[in-house]
């Protein structure tokens, strides 16, 4: 493998246009009733993108394009047509440092991370199956051997696949804010999601968040800093991420000179 960093020109394999969209992201501290409702919705599986993975037709089988490739679905690990489940379990049972990205989009960030850190293990989630297939072609092209992909909703998949405290770093970069009131239930960050992060990230590990929506960043800081298992945002923890390529969205913000907010939370 050549230079472990990816040239941005090479990464620009198709054009994508963004818009800034609305910025009036409003939020309030949660009441006890609102918090209880969020936990009830979580338990009921509401807000999952694409619905619960077990409701996917043929959920116990991988698509043919993913067989014997670094692709998995949490409820298809026993699919004997390929070696995906056996290989993933072996990787997770190793002592390799694990990083996870939830919502990789085009995959620039996590692909660069995997190439920079060949000694580590990486898992990347994106609910859009087409995006996972495009990303798989890039993993194959660059011969990356330490990165697994999934089109599961991470909120269901992660607790089904990972042991508690297995993750060193979880990256959640530019998630959809889900602006509309009726869509808020789909928003990734909620008290039960922070509970999940606290369960999966080892003590001393890191939760890394970025957004170009200031209000969403404020909400995330409120939710995470008020959880007993996390310390408040500490910008000095950015050094633990080190050099990296930006996501496609962050690169676009940079070109447009739009602000980006980053938060770093250490697991106590």
| Total number of residues shown for the chain | 268
DSSP for the chain, written as a single string: ---SSPPHHHH--S--------------PPPHHHHHHHHHHHHTTTT-TTS-GGGSTTTTS--GGGTTSSB--GGGTT-TTSSHHHHHHHHHHS---EEEEE--TT-HHHHHHHHH-TTSEEEEE-S-HHHHHHHHHHHHHTT--SEEEE-S-HHHHHHHHPPTT-EEEEEEES-----SGGGGGG-S-SHHHHHHHHHHEEEEEEEEEEES-HHHHHHHHHHHHTSTTBPPP-GGGGGGT-S-PPPHHHHHHHHHT---EEEEEEB-
Specify whether 152 is catalytic: no
Q: Which of 41, 91, 176, 195 is an active site residue? A: 176
- Count the alpha carbons within 13 Å of 210 in the hemisphere toward its beta carbon: 19
Among 74, 16, 30, 22, which residue's Cα sits nearest to residue 48? Answer: 74
* Residue 64 contacts residue 49 (beta carbons within 8 Å): no
Q: Which residues are catalytic?
A: 176
């Amino acid at each position: 493998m050549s230079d472990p960093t990816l040239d941005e020109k090479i990464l620009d394999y198709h054009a994508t246009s963004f818009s800034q969209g609305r910025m009036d992201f409003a939020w309030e501290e949660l009441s006890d009733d609102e918090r209880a409702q969020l936990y009830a919705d979580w338990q009921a599986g509401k807000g999952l993108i694409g619905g619960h993975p077990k409701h996917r037709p043929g959920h116990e089988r991988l698509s043919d394009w993913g067989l014997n490739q670094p692709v998995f679905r949490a409820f298809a690990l026993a699919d004997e047509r390929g070696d995906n489940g056996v290989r993933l379990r072996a990787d997770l049972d190793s002592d390799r440092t694990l990083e996870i990205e939830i919502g990789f989009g085009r995959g620039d960030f996590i692909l660069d991370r995997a190439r920079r850190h060949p000694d580590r293990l990486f898992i990347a989630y994106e609910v859009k199956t087409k995006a996972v297939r495009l990303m798989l072609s890039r993993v194959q092209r660059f011969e990356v051997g330490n990165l697994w992909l999934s089109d599961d909703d991470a909120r269901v998949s992660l607790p089904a696949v990972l042991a508690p405290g297995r993750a060193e770093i979880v990256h959640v970069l530019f998630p959809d804010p889900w602006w509309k009131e009726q869509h808020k239930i789909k928003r990734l960050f909620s008290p039960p999601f922070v509970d999940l992060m606290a369960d999966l990230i080892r003590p001393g590990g890191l939760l890394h968040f970025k957004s170009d929506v200031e209000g969403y960043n404020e909400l995330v800081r409120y939710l995470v800093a008020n959880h007993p298992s996390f310390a408040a945002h500490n910008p000095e923890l950015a050094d633990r991420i080190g050099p990296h390529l930006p996501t496609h969205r962050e690169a676009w913000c940079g070109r447009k000179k739009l602000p980006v907010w980053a938060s770093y939370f250490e697991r106590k």
